[in-house]
Chains A and B, each alone.
Chain A
């Protein structure tokens, strides 16, 4: 019997590289949470791979003492697909930003999700292009002033979770950079889920977009602005859990109601069902200040992962065709002998 492996700690997952994000960057907190989380998993450290594109967030792999590949802007999902296809035993994480994952890499994100490649895809959403010094991004709110939009941005932002669900992702969640107590369990769920797991992480960029998520992070307002999702539990929020979300069946939309007012009781509220895609879509669209914003697992409805299907199909064909023989292949079809 093998000697029991020594238990790893978060230090084992920290590389010797100096972390070079700006002081106070939300990325630090995410890194710490992940480094602490890794030892919990059964995955051998050498089977863990972090792959990123380009951006502040995409520097992430350099700081993890695992295998890592810092690739090119927007393409991490594709590189990760290749890694997983080549070696399905690897536990592959993709770290991307709102620009990397939804702007230049939007196409790959769409396809990696619909293909259900078994990856954890973490999108650090700071609603800006941090690395290129603060231009607005596809998730920036209308009116965002930035070096490229000095008079305010005009185009409608994309909601990452809406995008992911629309693309056919089978696992979609949202969490917050500095809230390890929430982020860690969400990441644990993402890791557990076989297939593409998409996690949007609200991330503060103190240099170019400071405080944009304060409404949901600040303890004073958080009770009003966040909707903590738990499978099988009613959608309740508010200082005293006095409010909830109800389905307006006439208009097919969600609405905020006060429990014990106008005859509303807890029984009238929507009960969160992670496997309900329509509900997940509606939740993903809820925006502050009209609504509290859902955090937690919006959607989880597993299906077989791409690499598994690829190898299953291949195994079946191999069984049918028998052993591969190149000389036989070269001699297949019509051939003739010249003496």
Chain B
């Protein structure tokens, strides 16, 4: 039985459902992201597992009522593990006709749609592209409609606070939030507290919003609503005990970098240039000056990466971050970091491309750039984050590898991971093993060409250390002395050593494991990055139907885990879902000579679970 059938079944026990997908959609000025975040917080506190997907337009203030100005926030929450924001929407909150017309296609048949009927004016309807009013012409007959004059209600409620009409109307989102909280039995406490903090200096505004929130809730409690619309119970999920918080990928990445710096016992210099969806990391780290982090907004991406590299030369850990177009600009300096063998962290929060592409939408199309997108033979470690909270450990892992092997490390995240939020069982930082960097200090026998015989890492001697004055640079250096060398044999040797060092990292990373399913069998679905959630659920559902399929999620994209080839060879068939035209699948094919198959999607939207399920079934079918 679908969730919605569950929900509309009044007889069912107090409307208990296992999981629900709610989407708030409105004008970019309607405050849908804030509404979504508040609802998420309340849901997390309630104890459901959840996953969110904020989807906002590239335009900052698109014309009011326009379809391209619609901003949406989707949340899936439930009593079982939730790893995606959901394929289809059960409850759609549409604040105007444009939000309705652009989001209705994702609502399940029989789903609940809540609209502000006051916004369905002739003008707004025309602007959204409606020929007639969908609230009256039967266009919504397949759904359950709750049309409320929200604007009027709100203006009425906040009147005593003396707000102008403009400000009064802005409380609409809180009214709607209140109603939605009633619908799912969420507590308003955190939201109320949040509003009072946010508007601490504008108490009238704060109280008006609180009033609106409560009024929305009261409306749910007291108004005569159509049958079948009443409080739904989504019981708390059975999750591992511990302390939880919500985190976005951006936050977890920022905290992971700080953690990595502490574990390496290195100060961090974070240099970046704003670009969507990567800027959040710069913003977040800029608020953490109490830690050993200096943040620097450079004049461009080239300056940012060069500043980070200069910091690494001077004995800090240089970190830079951008999205695809900015990473292109950093290429030459990343190669310099490879040549000079200094640690450097480069984070790519991928977005839809090429060029400006879809700056606010997600994609995984910079893998080739990460692996191959520089001049010359400059292989470097590439690791990917699969979920928002995964960013914490991935950042630490990047710092560990960069400092241990004295190499730039590229982290691939994406717009979905960066902005989506997820409950995170907060780790105890004391449980992490430190990996303090040892700088060279001994002048006897010192040469900038010295290497650790085991890891092949070049010596790191920082300026300020007496007796170790030396020069490094982009010109090829002698393997023996570190002096400039144009010798042909030396260049061969240095190229080989640089490659061997990176290849050798495979010995120091975890073996590839299987997320769910067996370590051999008919089909392995191999994912990397943010496709994790959809693959996980897709594989899980197929396995529940008795299908022989496993989920393998690769974090270390270069070098690959040393057992990956063996592991993959134990499956009859390999399927690689990617939000690009097929990049990792080519790596697997060429690396392991395996006839891996692909499923690709580049619409700017994450995979749906259903799409993965269908691909799995088609693939298994083809094996018969």
Chain A contact residues, CB within 8 Å of chain B: 15, 17, 44-47, 49, 51, 54, 61-62, 64-72, 75, 77-87, 89-90, 107-108, 110-111, 310, 313-314, 317-318, 321-324, 326-327, 329-331, 333-339
Quote the shortest CB–CB distance from B190 to chain A (angstroms). Answer: 6
Residues 352-372 of chain B, each 1 if its beta carbon lies under 8 Å from chain A, else 0:
000000000000000000000
For A15, give its contact among B241, B300, B336, B471 (CB under 8 Å). B471
Q: List chain A residues, Cβ under 8 A from B306.
A: 71-72, 75, 78-79, 81-82, 108
Q: List chain B residues, Cβ under 8 A from A15.
A: 471
Task: Verify B294–A310 contact, CB threshold 8 A.
Answer: yes
Task: Verify A83–B255 contact, CB threshold 8 A.
Answer: no
Task: Verify A326–B426 contact, CB threshold 8 A.
Answer: no
Q: List chain A residues, Cβ under 8 A from B333.
A: 72, 75
Q: Which 4 A-B pairs have the closest CB atoms?
A: A82-B310, A70-B473, A78-B306, A79-B310
Q: Size range of the interface on B? A: 35 or more
Quote the shortest CB–CB distance from A8 to chain B (angstroms). Answer: 12
Q: List chain B residues, Cβ under 8 A from A69.
A: 310, 313, 340, 471-473
Q: List chain B residues, Cβ under 8 A from A62.
A: 471, 473, 484
Quote the shortest CB–CB distance from B328 to chain A (angstroms). Answer: 15
Mark out the residues of chain B between 273 and 323 whose CB falls within 8 Å of any chain A CB in the assembled complex.
Answer: 288-292, 294, 296, 298-300, 302-304, 306-316, 318
- Decide yes or no whether B136 CB sits under 8 A from chain A: no
Q: List chain B residues, Cβ under 8 A from A80.
A: 310
Quote the shortest CB–CB distance from A54 to chain B (angstroms). Answer: 8
- Decide yes or no whether B267 CB sits under 8 A from chain A: yes
Quote the shortest CB–CB distance from A306 to chain B (angstroms). Answer: 9
A81 to B303, CA, bound (A): 9
Task: Verify B302–A78 contact, CB threshold 8 A.
Answer: yes
Task: Verify A49–B463 contact, CB threshold 8 A.
Answer: yes
- Decide yes or no whether B201 CB sits under 8 A from chain A: no
Quote the shortest CB–CB distance from A110 to chain B (angstroms). Answer: 8
A223 to B333, CA, bound (A): 46
A310 to B484, CA, bound (A): 36
For B299, give its contact among A47, A107, A314, A333 (CB under 8 Å). A107
Q: List chain B residues, Cβ under 8 A from A82.
A: 269, 271, 296, 306-314, 316, 318
Binds A, one of B11-19, B242-250, B408-416, B565-573: B242-250
Task: Verify A326–B314 contact, CB threshold 8 A.
Answer: no
Task: Verify B484–A17 contact, CB threshold 8 A.
Answer: yes
Q: List chain B residues, Cβ under 8 A from A314.
A: 289, 294
Q: List chain B residues, Cβ under 8 A from A87.
A: 314-316, 462-464
Q: A44-B466, A83-B313 given as contacts; is B473 within 8 A of A326 (CB)?
A: no
Residue of B nearest to A75 (CB): B306
Task: Verify A329–B258 contact, CB threshold 8 A.
Answer: yes
Task: Verify B314–A90 contact, CB threshold 8 A.
Answer: yes
Binds A, one of B52-60, B215-223, B427-435: B427-435
Q: List chain A residues, Cβ under 8 A from B294.
A: 85-86, 310, 314
For B471, give its contact among A54, A61, A77 (CB under 8 Å). A61
Quote the shortest CB–CB distance from A81 to chain B (angstroms). Answer: 5
Q: List chain A residues, Cβ under 8 A from B315.
A: 86-87
Quote the shortest CB–CB distance from B247 to chain A (angstroms). Answer: 9
Task: Verify B299–A336 contact, CB threshold 8 A.
Answer: no
For B244, give its contact among A45, A61, A337 (CB under 8 Å). A337
Task: Verify A329–B288 contact, CB threshold 8 A.
Answer: yes
Task: Verify B310–A86 contact, CB threshold 8 A.
Answer: yes
Residue of B nearest to A74 (CB): B302
Task: Verify B269–A85 contact, CB threshold 8 A.
Answer: yes
Quote the shortest CB–CB distance from A10 to chain B (angstroms). Answer: 15
Task: Verify B296–A326 contact, CB threshold 8 A.
Answer: no
Quote the shortest CB–CB distance from A5 to chain B (angstroms). Answer: 11
Q: A70-B472, A78-B298, A108-B303 given as contacts; is B313 within 8 A of A338 (CB)?
A: no
- Decide yes or no whether B469 CB sits under 8 A from chain A: yes
A51 to B312, CA, bound (A): 14
A32 to B41, CA, bound (A): 66
Q: List chain A residues, Cβ under 8 A from B244.
A: 335-338
Quote the shortest CB–CB distance from B487 to chain A (angstroms). Answer: 15
Quote the shortest CB–CB distance from A11 to chain B (angstroms). Answer: 14
For A330, give its contact among B299, B429, B462, B466 (CB under 8 Å). B429
Q: A45-B469, A46-B468 given as contacts; is B429 within 8 A of A327 (CB)?
A: yes
Q: List chain B residues, Cβ under 8 A from A323.
A: 290
Quote the shortest CB–CB distance from A105 to chain B (angstroms). Answer: 9
30 A-B Cβ contacts within 8 A? A15-B471, A47-B463, A62-B484, A71-B336, A72-B474, A78-B298, A79-B306, A79-B309, A79-B310, A82-B316, A83-B314, A85-B307, A86-B269, A86-B294, A86-B310, A87-B314, A87-B463, A87-B464, A310-B294, A314-B294, A322-B290, A324-B291, A324-B292, A330-B245, A334-B190, A335-B243, A337-B244, A338-B239, A338-B240, A338-B242
Q: List chain A residues, Cβ under 8 A from B430.
A: 327
A29 to B20, CA, bound (A): 76
A22 to B289, CA, bound (A): 49
Residue of B nearest to A62 (CB): B471
A338 to B470, CA, bound (A): 55
Residues 243-263 of chain B, each 1 if its beta carbon lies under 8 Å from chain A, else 0:
111100000000100110010
Q: List chain B residues, Cβ under 8 A from A90.
A: 314, 463-464
Task: Verify A47–B267 contact, CB threshold 8 A.
Answer: no
Residue of A nearest to B466 (CB): A46
Task: Verify A47–B464 contact, CB threshold 8 A.
Answer: yes
Q: List chain B residues, Cβ under 8 A from A324.
A: 288, 290-292
A47 to B316, CA, bound (A): 15
Task: Verify A107–B303 contact, CB threshold 8 A.
Answer: yes
Task: Verify A334–B47 contact, CB threshold 8 A.
Answer: no
For A326, give its contact among B240, B258, B312 (CB under 8 Å). B258
Task: Verify A85–B463 contact, CB threshold 8 A.
Answer: no
- Decide yes or no whether B467 CB sits under 8 A from chain A: yes
Task: Verify A337–B296 contact, CB threshold 8 A.
Answer: no
Task: Verify A330–B310 contact, CB threshold 8 A.
Answer: no
- Decide yes or no whether B147 CB sits under 8 A from chain A: no
Task: Verify A78–B307 contact, CB threshold 8 A.
Answer: yes
- Which of B315, B340, B463 gathers the greatest number of chain A CB atoms within 10 Å? B463
Q: List chain B residues, Cβ under 8 A from A78.
A: 298, 302-304, 306-307, 310
- Decide yes or no whether B80 CB sits under 8 A from chain A: no
A46 to B441, CA, bound (A): 12
Q: List chain B residues, Cβ under 8 A from A110.
A: 299
- Other A-B pairs beyond A81-B303, A85-B310, 11, CB < 8 Å: A69-B471, A70-B473, A75-B302, A75-B333, A86-B267, A86-B294, A317-B290, A318-B290, A326-B262, A336-B44, A339-B241
Task: Verify A331–B245 contact, CB threshold 8 A.
Answer: yes
Task: Verify B289–A318 contact, CB threshold 8 A.
Answer: yes
Residue of B nearest to A81 (CB): B307
For B290, give its contact among A81, A89, A321, A337 (CB under 8 Å). A321
A334 to B39, CA, bound (A): 13
- Which of B258, B312, B465, B472 gathers the greatest number of chain A CB atoms within 10 Å? B472
Q: A62-B473, A75-B333, A82-B310 given as contacts; is B468 within 8 A of A107 (CB)?
A: no
Q: List chain A residues, Cβ under 8 A from B243.
A: 331, 335-337
A313 to B287, CA, bound (A): 12
A15 to B482, CA, bound (A): 13
Task: Verify A85–B469 contact, CB threshold 8 A.
Answer: no
Q: A313-B289, A330-B427 given as contacts; is B474 within 8 A of A71 (CB)?
A: yes
Q: List chain B residues, Cβ under 8 A from A68.
A: 470-473
Residue of B nearest to A70 (CB): B473
A339 to B463, CA, bound (A): 51
Residues 58-101 of chain B, each 1 if its beta carbon lies under 8 Å from chain A, else 0:
00000000000000000000000000000000000000000000
Task: Verify A66–B307 contact, CB threshold 8 A.
Answer: no
Residue of B nearest to A320 (CB): B290
Q: List chain A residues, Cβ under 8 A from B312.
A: 82, 86
Q: List chain A residues, Cβ under 8 A from B309.
A: 71, 79, 82
A314 to B296, CA, bound (A): 12
A323 to B336, CA, bound (A): 36
Quote the shortest CB–CB distance from B295 to chain A (angstroms). Answer: 9
Task: Verify B469–A334 contact, CB threshold 8 A.
Answer: no
A304 to B155, CA, bound (A): 52
